[in-house]
Structure 1
Amino acid sequence: MNSNRRLCAVAAVALLVVTAGCLTVSPSISSADDSPVFERVSTVSEWGTSSVQGSVTLTPAATTEMGVTRLNVIREDGSSFYATSVDAGQTSVSLPIPTGTRSRIVAVNTVNGTVVDTYNVTVRGTRYP
């Protein structure tokens, strides 16, 4: 990489950090919850600012027997962060999860309007202001 490209890349990351808040490096997602819906939530992101990309693995019964049709990510303060639909038989979902706060991933059956399960998650990593 030539010096001009390197300088542009460093400037872009610096601008991103300044405009988006703290930088979280080497993030991981943890939860102490046991769940009939969620098998695992992890991330392959190397860094994130306000969120990291999460990889959610659902149990095989989540969308078929339990009727999960939507996943909502809710911040600790109760505000909605992200929502996505889930298809019958789907067991893998990618969604953003906020950094710097605890969050809940709520599995919903939109057909009958019920909450099937709630999974509490925390994004951890080295934070730089």
Structure 2
Amino acid sequence: MTEMSKGQVASETESVARRRVAALGVVLVSMYGPMLAWLLFMPETWSNRRWSYIGMIPVLPGLVPGSLLAEAFEKSMTTAWLLAGGFSLLLVMFFWWLASIGRRFRLVVGLLIFIVSSGYAFLLNLAWT
């Protein structure tokens, strides 16, 4: 391998790493941003219920499918929380993979996740009140 080809390989590796980090940032901000904003900027006082929701932020995206699956198989709430965490991780990984394909995919995936996550946060707000 010549010196120039080693430099090209290093440059390509850095490019892929930057693209993946940018994609992960877009996915995480788009997915968790609306829910976090909903929790932080609610007009009510800081109650124990709000703090419990803040503690649940990592599993909130997968809460509905995890709960539905646990209820379908008549499992405990612990199983529902574990399934919610698993679904959240799968969602983040899947959308991260999609957003890593390219800039256009990153933009489209970020917008779609943001719209769906905003709707989900709105439904959580309705369930809260």
TM-score, normalised to structure 1, is: 0.29
Q: Name which structure has the greater RCO, CA cutoff 8 Å, separation 6+.
A: 2
In terms of fraction of residues, the more strand-rich structure is: 1
Q: Which has the higher helix share?
A: 2
Which of structures 1 and 2 has the bigger CA Rg?
A: 2
